[in-house]
Chain A
Amino acid sequence: MSKFKESALTKGAPGLNTASLPDIVFMLLFFFMVVTKLRDTELKVSVKTPEASQLTKLENKSLVNFIYIGRPTVKYEAVYGTKPRIQLGDKFADMNEIPLFLEKHRASVPENQVSQVTSSLRIDGDVTMGIVGDIKTALRKANQLKINYSAKPIQKKD
């Protein structure tokens, strides 16, 4: 009995086994790789979407194109002013570039899924409806009728 105690004392606490640490970290890594998407576009306009309750999730990311509307960020204010602008892909665009943008995206989609293509409109809450109405008209003219007004779930205020 006394011998057993002594040996435990001299050995001290055994080191923590960290052999499974890489596995745990890899698991975390894969989780983040799956739930997030690479920041492929740098936002040049500031977009703070409003809150809404009737939200639908956008399925199948490859069938979605994004149109951003908002005021240019501070970095681009000097060149592009403070009026709301459209961003398609990673650059500022004009209203008349929308059909080409949509057509380019459609070309990358399998033909039988073209009808399911959705436009996600990420619009800043402070923008007035003038530019939004013009975009809607442009989308209708380009026969892109499925749209999704991007919004955040309503946060409970307490």
Chain B
Amino acid sequence: MLKKKKAHRMSSEINAGSMADIAFLLLIFFLVTTQISEDKGLLVKLPPWSTEPPPDFKANSRNLYSVLVNAQNQLLVRGNPMDIEMLKENTKLFISNPRQESDKSTSPQEAIVSLKNDRGTKYSTYLRVYNELQAAYAELRNELALKKHAKEFEFLSDSQKKEIREAIPLIISEAEPTAFGEEK
């Protein structure tokens, strides 16, 4: 009789009241030791390294869109100073050339954007310029996608994306930086 009663007691439930405390402790530990990773950025493909001098290519100067950034973080676009706010629209105009002007690119496939910076250029300026150039291409692709398929570029199928990428290839070439400015 006595034995039976003891067995019954043993099987009573475990008190789960402190479970929440333990879980909170773990939670706070993870909150402190981890960081929400900012893992986004501008994807860039570098050209392969070669010791040979670059081929002396004579692109038609109307197809070349040269962007220079100096050590004072000022922009010189095709020989004229420009404000960074204007860069995207201007680049778009140059690449698409909607009115077929004679001083802009013959076609998006021919257009070459050339970026040159100084060793003293601030990284944030450089990245902003690069971002604006990429944004110009992204917007042009988006516009073409809307026109052709009535969908935004990111919602297209892979083959449609490829087709648009071929119509407007992203060509941003980077020249060796100059070394006039002071490095800080």
Contacts from A to B (Cβ < 8 Å): 18-19, 21-22, 25-26, 28-29, 32-33, 35-39, 49-50, 52-58, 61, 64, 118, 120-121, 123-133, 136-137, 139-141, 143-153
Q: Which residues of B contact A126 (CB under 8 A)?
A: 122-124, 184
Q: Is the CB of A128 within 8 A of B123?
A: yes
- The answer to whether A22 and B46 have CB atoms under 8 Å apart is no
> B48: CB under 8 A from chain A?
yes
Those 9 A-B pairs whose CB atoms lie nearest each other, nearest first: A125-B124, A36-B34, A130-B119, A25-B23, A140-B49, A22-B19, A50-B124, A130-B183, A150-B41
* A99 vs B177: C-alpha distance when bound (angstroms): 22
Does B40 count as interface, using CB distance less than 8 angstroms? yes
Please, what's the 1-or-0 string for B10-47, where 1 marks a CB less than 8 Å from any CB in chain A? 00000011011011101100110111111111111111
Please tell me if the beta carbons of B31 and A39 are within 8 angstroms of each other in the complex: no
**Nearest A residue to B137 by beta-carbon distance?**
A54
**Which residues of B have CB within 8 Å of A57?**
39-40
Interface membership of chain B positions 129-149, coded 1 if the CB is closer than 8 angstroms to chain A and 0 otherwise: 011001100100000000000
Report the minimal beta-carbon distance from A10 to chain B, rounded to whole angstroms. 25
CB distance from B115 to the nearest CB of A (A): 11
The answer to whether A36 touches B30 (Cβ under 8 A) is yes
Smallest distance from the beta carbon of B101 to chain A beta carbons, Å? 27
9 sampled A-B residue pairs with Cβ under 8 A: A33-B30, A39-B35, A52-B128, A58-B39, A129-B120, A129-B123, A140-B49, A146-B45, A151-B127
Which B residues are CB-close (under 8 A) to A147? Answer: 43-46
Q: In the complex, are the beta carbons of B46 and A132 less than 8 A apart?
A: no
Chain B residues, Cβ within 8 Å of A146: 43, 45-46
Chain B residues within an 8 Å CB radius of A58: 39-41
**Chain B residue at minimum C-beta to C-beta distance from A146:** B45
Instruction: Give chain A residues whose Cβ lies under 8 Å from the Cβ of B37.
Output: 36-37
Tell me the complex Cα distance, A147–B122, Å.
19
- Smallest Cβ distance from B26 to chain A, in angstroms? 5
Interface of A is mostly: mixed
Considering the chains assembled together, what is the distance between the CA atoms of A150 and B38 in angstroms?
8
B17–A36 CB distance below 8 A: no
Alpha-carbon distance between A124 and B126 when the two chains are bound, in angstroms: 12
Are A18 and B120 touching (Cβ within 8 A)?
no
| B181 interface hit (Cβ, 8 Å) | yes
Task: Report whether B131 and A25 are in contact in the complex, using a CB–CB cutoff of 8 Å.
Answer: no
With most chain A CB atoms within 10 A of its CB, the pick from B22, B38, B121 is B38
Q: Kindly state whether residue B117 has any CB partner on chain A within 8 Å.
A: yes
Contacts of A124 in B (CB 8 A): 123
Q: How far is the CB of B110 from chain A (nearest CB, A)?
A: 23
Extra pairs beyond A133-B177, A151-B131 (19, CB < 8 Å) = A36-B35, A38-B33, A39-B33, A50-B128, A54-B135, A124-B123, A125-B127, A127-B123, A129-B122, A129-B177, A133-B119, A139-B46, A145-B47, A148-B41, A148-B43, A148-B44, A149-B130, A150-B39, A151-B127
B119 surroundings in chain A (CB, below 8 A): 128-130, 133
Identify which of A29, A50, A131 contacts B183 (C-beta below 8 A). Answer: A131
A141 contact set on B, CB distance < 8 A: 49
Could you tell me if A50 and B127 are in contact, using CB atoms closer than 8 angstroms?
yes
- Minimum CB–CB distance from A106 to chain B (whole Å) comes to 16
